Structure 1
Amino acid sequence: MAAVKYQILSRYYNTNTNNAITNDSSNEYEKDFIFSTIDVSDQITDEIIKGNSPENIKTDMLFSYAGTRIVYPDKDKQQYYCPNLKYPYMIIDTYKRVSFSPWFVVHTCGSLESALEKAKMIVNHIGINNVKLIKVVPFDQKIKIN
């Protein structure tokens, strides 16, 4: 008979924002994109500050790479159009939002006592809602559940 193990699972912790990533699907993803060939340094600075803020809901989202594509400027919006260039475009990386909230195995322990001790350390760092302790039992082992 194989031994029972305990696994501690955790959400990914974003060290830039000091928040655990829950990937809450109720937060809608709105893409930001600025295509500019003129001086808009104030607008760019504001977007960079907003994008790096811990309060930005996008810091709680997970994405996967979805390939590259060509982006053309919008001639109807002057800040995106450059009349001096005949064919302006950009080749950009694209990403899709992951549709689930993943959990990662942080530790595997042989006893409940050591698993609880390690789990408490992680809970103190990222919060109880971002840590799970599970019991891993071999499939063929009989378990009595009361």
Structure 2
Amino acid sequence: MKTKLSANVINSCICPPEKRFVYIQDTLVPGLFVCVTRAGEKNFVLRFTPPGGKQRICKSFASCESITLTAARNQAKSLKAQFTVGKDPFQEAKAEKEEYQKNGLKLSELFSLWKNDSEKEKKTGKASKIVFPLWAILKKKENPRYR
């Protein structure tokens, strides 16, 4: 479905029970979608084919609860601009996460990294995309109760 997204539109969207998820496309920012799952989760998704690219990009970059629609539109424009100049911000975040895993950070060090992040990064979800998955892995490694 293609519509001008608003807070009311996002809040009122539901996924039909016979489908796993539904995409709602924004008319103001090409490539910006809201993905609504059967469970009721709503995420902002960037979906487009970069210039000269053969493969379509389809990546979730934030929960609808964590950032506003205006911030999501700005972030989608920024991500598309990075792809246009040849950068892959999703790959950079993945490489950063792998680096943290490879270095064998302790849970306390990981928490310090998260605590020292700027408020902007916490709001855009960088902490939740890197720190929290690693925290779960480290929690299992350091505490035998979680194995």
TM, length-normalised to structure 2: 0.29
Answer 1 or 2: which has greater helix percent.
2
Choose between structure 1 and 2: higher strand proportion.
1
Q: Which has the higher contact order (CA 8 A, sep 6+)?
A: 1
| Structure possessing the higher radius of gyration over alpha carbons | 1
